Amino acid sequence: MNRLIAKAGLFLLAGVLVTLTSCRKEADTIAKVEVVDTANVQFPNAMVRLYATSTIEEHGSIIIDDTLFTDATGYATFNYSENYNLGQAGVFVLDIEVRSGDTLTGTGVIKVEQETTSEETVIIQ
C-alpha cells in the first residue's frame, strides 16, 4: 500500500513540474527606432512609419503599417507582442520611413526579433 501511495505521489509531482515549466509567459516583442540628424543629435517629433513590403507579386493584405512620432529623446517604440505567438520562428522585417515637415526624410529597415527589443537608427536629412 505504501509503495502505491509513493508511486502516485511521484506521478503527481512529475505532472505538476511539467505543467509549471511548460507555462512560460512570452516576453515583449519591441521595435525601437532612433531618429538622429546628420550631426548625430536625436530628433524629436519626427513621424516614423513601419510597414511591410511584399516580396512577391501576388500577396494577401499587408497587415503591418504603423505610425508613431518620436519622443523628446528621438525614439519611437512599437510593441508587436500581439503579432508574435510562442513557438513561432522569427517575426518580420519592416521598412522604416521617417519624415519631418516637407523636406526632412530618412529610410531604413528593421528586423524585428521575437521576445526582444530590436533597435535601428535612421538619419533624417
H or E element, residue 31: strand 30-36
27-123 CATH pick, 2.60.40.1120, 3.40.50.620, 3.40.50.2300, 3.20.20.80:
2.60.40.1120
Say what the pLDDT of residue 56 is.
67
The helices-and-strands tally (H runs, E runs) of the chain is 1, 7
Question: In the 8-state DSSP scheme, what is residue 24?
Answer: P
Q: How many CB atoms lie within 10 A of CB 34?
A: 18
Say what the pLDDT of residue 63 is.
78
**How do residues 19-59 score in pLDDT, each as one tens digit?**
444 565 778 999 999 999 999 999 999 999 999 887 666 65
**How do residues 79-113 score in pLDDT, each as one tens digit?**
998 876 666 666 789 999 999 999 999 999 999 99
